[in-house]
Amino acid sequence: MTENTPPQGQGQRRRRRRRRGPGHAQNRQGSNRQGSNRQGANKQSSSKQDSDKQEHKNRKHTSKSRSSQRSHQRGGQRGNQRGHQRGGKRGGKNYYRRPNSSTSGAKRTYTPEHTMETRDETSAGGLVVSGMAEAVRQDGSVNLARIYVALIGRIDRRGRLLWSMPKGHVEPGENQWDTSRREVWEETGIYGEPFEELGVIDYWFVSDGVRIHKTVHHNLLRYVDGVLNNDDPEVTEVAWVPISELIEHLAYADERKLARIAIDRMPDLARAERDAGRVTPR
């Protein structure tokens, strides 16, 4: 190895550094300034976008609040309209609201403008029965088809003939037994003697602006004398009806209940009449 041989690695060619002139620093400073300007512009654009987004949110929130206010107002108006409509349709009655008390939590009450007068009335009547003793057979059984009761028929507003038990108002000084005797005679032409209480009916109705609570006493009357007639102007027809067909003839449900009671008790009553030796006048 000779002296002129360079050591290992020194023989490689070195890269020459490129000489840059004095304008390079100026260009570099200019590029740095442009970069900073771009960053500032980007910051401004991003801040502008953020402000636009916030403004959009605020607008959206405002529109929502306005729409909710409108919906609440519409709902309140509709509720008031419905309340007025329902209040006007409430059974044809006029209601007024009392002024609210100044005390918090005071109850609102509704009071009818007009109060209806109430009155109690008492009536009495019943079924006059014929042929009880004669309906008892030799073996002690009872043929209900041979026992007759007197009914009255009235024409209602629809022109229908409705059958019911004769009855009427209890006059001053009368008891319900005397009223039953008198009303049966006036409405059917038959004189009967009360011997058994059948049942009591009470109901409500309105007449001439008065609310009436009526109580009616029904009795069983034994036939004594008389012939059927319809001289009473309030009665259209009168008829003897077999007690076995009584339920089918009666128009009112409460009287049909009493008819079932009479039919259930009639066999024992008929046997008692026969044992007492009573016969029906003919």
Indicate the fold that domain 118-276 takes in CATH.
Nucleoside Triphosphate Pyrophosphohydrolase (3.90.79)
Q: Give mean pLDDT, residues 10-15.
A: 49
Per-residue pLDDT tens digits for 219-273: 999 999 999 998 889 899 999 999 999 999 999 999 999 999 999 999 999 999 9
What's residue 95's pLDDT?
A: 34
Residue type, 223: Y
Q: Where are the domains of the chain?
A: 118-276
- Cα angle 272, 277, 281 (rounded to 5 degrees) comes to 105
What's residue 207's pLDDT?
A: 87
Select the more confidently predicted residue: 100 or 154: 154
Q: Are 42 and 34 in contact (CB under 8 A)?
A: no
Per-residue pLDDT tens digits for 32-90: 555 555 555 555 555 555 655 565 555 555 555 555 555 555 555 555 555 545 444 44
Q: Are 163 and 153 in contact (CB under 8 A)?
A: yes
Q: Give mean pLDDT, residues 194-215.
A: 93
3-state secondary structure 98-158: CCCCCCCCCCCCEEECCCCEEEEEEEEEEEEEECCHHHECCCCCECHHHCEEEEEEEECCC
Assessment of whether the complete model's pTM goes beyond 0.85: no
Burial (CB count within 10 angstroms: exposed 0-12, middle 13-18, buried 19+), residue 183:
buried
Per-residue pLDDT tens digits for 103-123: 444 454 443 535 889 999 999
Nearest to 177 by CA among 225, 213, 218, 228: 218
Residue 28 has pLDDT above 70, yes or no: no
Mean pLDDT of the chain: 77
